Amino acid sequence: MILLEQQIKIIDMTERHIKEVAQIEKVSFPTPWPRQTFEFEIFYNELAEYMVALDGHKVVGYGGMWMVLNEAHITNVAVQPRYREMGIGRMLMLSLMQRAASLGADRMTLEVRPSNGPARDLYHSLGFVECGLRKGYYQDNDEDAIIMWRERLNEKYPNQSEV
């Protein structure tokens, strides 16, 4: 993991990353966002903050959020399948959490599928707590979404390590 962390760099998403981000999105989600949605997010959505994980010049993961007043809402986080279980999702989440706190957010929220055990485990390890349910949230199979919150975003959680 130490070698991987030295190789992977987290930076702001730009136009040059969109093609690879859209490919990761397509292999990661049953109802992927189209390329145009990512273009809108980084060019026009003033609430949006998006980051990519790079292995050299290759995009291997990405994450995004919307900043609304003092809250950050995670929109999506995904890692290229062959790079999963290497800590890149954690690196992206920690980077987003740090960015949100630096922009004045004191709490963060997200939705996650009950069937996505690895993501739920990651979020729990970062101090997120399951606080509610959105019935039939996911359009592909009508699966509910678990709503998770992390309060006191600027405080380090016991299982949270630095990026």
Active site amino acids: 111, 123
CA distance 39 to 132: 31
Say if CB 105 and CB 70 are below 8 A apart: yes
Q: Which helix (H) or strand (E) holds 108?
A: strand 107-112
Residue ranges in 1-138 assigned as alpha helix (H)? 2-7, 18-28, 35-43, 88-102, 117-125
